[in-house]
Amino acid sequence: MAPHPQQTIIPLSRSYPNRHGVPLIDQVDATIFTATYCCDFADPSCADACCAYGVCVDTENRQRLLDHAEELEPYLGVDRRDWFDDSCVSDAEFPGGSYTRTRVVDGGCVFLNRSSRGCRLHAHRLATGRDYHQHKPTLCSLFPVTIDGGLLRPSSEVLDGSLVCRERGTTLYHGTRNELRYYYGDALIAELDRLATSSPM
């Protein structure tokens, strides 16, 4: 992705691996410390717009979901054959070296909760007392930040102004800090905290 005109790219002191190996992070777009959004479902008007197009799921995550299909199908109410589209895209930045996409049904991700809000994969894990990270796609957990060629940056919806809940609430970094800690550990968070403190608000 070409740099956005407002980006300030900061090299990090070292490369930080994901707990699954990839993607790595070795630089950060300082916009994540200043751009804001409304997180934690505090804005009901968004209607989960970020889930409208489905999401890329690495092949390892896809297999974890299929391995639990007998348990998930009754909860989701969707046959496992309808969870993913037929794509398989090679990409070294995804665990397993490739990804597929979740299907879009009636204007939203197949895993979107139509009766209330949020991701049903996330809800199922919480309801059964288990870590949602094992099933919920990484890109969903990190949104609205993403990793692109080693760069931790705002998702495209932030940069192009289409994110419904932008420009209110907390910073992108603050809202995703715990997720980044889960995937990348305390050392990355310590470095990002220092950068966040020095970034102009």
Give the whole-angstrom CA distance, residue 59 versus residue 79.
19
Confidence of residue 116 (pLDDT cuts 50, 70, 90): confident
* 18-27, 38-47, 93-102, 111-120: least confident range: 38-47
Q: What pLDDT score was predicted for residue 121?
A: 98
Give the whole-angstrom CA distance, residue 132 versus residue 111.
13
H-run or E-run covering 152: strand 151-154
Model pLDDT for residues 133-169, shown as the tens digit of each residue: 999 999 999 999 999 999 999 999 999 988 888 888 8
Give the burial string for 94-125 (b: 16+ CB within 10 Å, else e): bbeebbbbbbbeeebbbbbbeeeeebbbbbbb
- Structure tokens belonging to residue 12: 């990090």
- Structure tokens belonging to residue 51: 């889930």
Inter-CA distances, 45 with 48, 82, 93, 125, 164, Å: 8, 28, 33, 25, 8
